[in-house]
Structure 1
Amino acid sequence: MQPHAENFEGGCMSMNAIDARRKKPSMEAAFRAALTDASLSADICKRVGWDSTQVSRFLSGQMGLTIGKMDAAIEALGMIVASREYMDFLAYGARVGAACECARSGYGECGR
């Protein structure tokens, strides 16, 4: 589900404006950036059990990441996996407000 402008306070920001300002995170871009940064590459290699030749092969598309090493690689990037459903829940909670007495008492969202 794509976010819509009406989901923003007062509909003040269009999706085109958001798309122009941000790029969606990419695992490929994150791996490329980390594996070409000497200060990060060594840690990733250690966590997934690679040597420098495997990094080169991975970056050129000649080698993949095994499913058993995926979690370690994602963690080494400083990323997490979260479901869209969970992220939608967080967005809804942030909009309503976790401490909203009205909603918690069954009166609906504050001000509505």
Structure 2
Amino acid sequence: MSLQHAPVQPMYQTKSVEQIIRSHLGNPATRDEVASAVGWKDPSSSSSRVLSGQQGIQLRDINQLISACGMVLVDPRYLNWLKYGAQIGANCWCERNNMAGACAGGQ
């Protein structure tokens, strides 16, 4: 018996970092949290200036900005490690259930 693998569809729409930051700065409900995280005194004015390109974001504030926008930085090597581990786990599950998998012939 052969297992058919359906193409994996993303569970969410991919957005760029810029789109996410713009969304947070443009929404009054999230703008204040971002402004507080990066130390802006006037959230509305600072956000407006950043969105229009009149003001930049200090490098020292990048980590706080990313975190306040609900994002985290992940090393691609870590994601590759997780993918590899998931493949091993899936194949071992197949083997334990008498199905042909990458672990075939193993113990």
What's the TM-score once normalised by structure 2's chain length? 0.70
SS of alignment partner, residue 97 of structure 1? helix
1:36 to 26, 38, 43: 26
User: By how many angstroms is 1:58 displaced?
Assistant: 0.5
Which residue number in structure 2 is paired with residue 13 of structure 1? 7
Structure with bigger gyration radius: 2
Deviations 1:10-56 (A, max 9, x none): 56428xxx59x965331100011111111111111111112221111
Which residue number in structure 2 is paired with residue 26 of structure 1? 16
For 2:104 and 2:15, the matched residues in 1 are separated by: 34
Which residue number in structure 1 is paired with residue 103 of structure 2? 110
Whether 1:79 and 2:71 are equivalent positions in the alignment is yes
2:49 to 50, 57, 60: 57
Count of residue correspondences: 93
* Structure 1 stretches of at least 4 aligned residues deviating more than 4 Å after TM superposition: none
Give structure 2 stretches of 5+ with no counterpart: 96-101
What's the TM-score once normalised by structure 1's chain length? 0.68
Give structure 1 stretches of 5+ with no counterpart: 1-8, 103-108
Structure 1 vs Structure 2 CA RMSD: 2.9
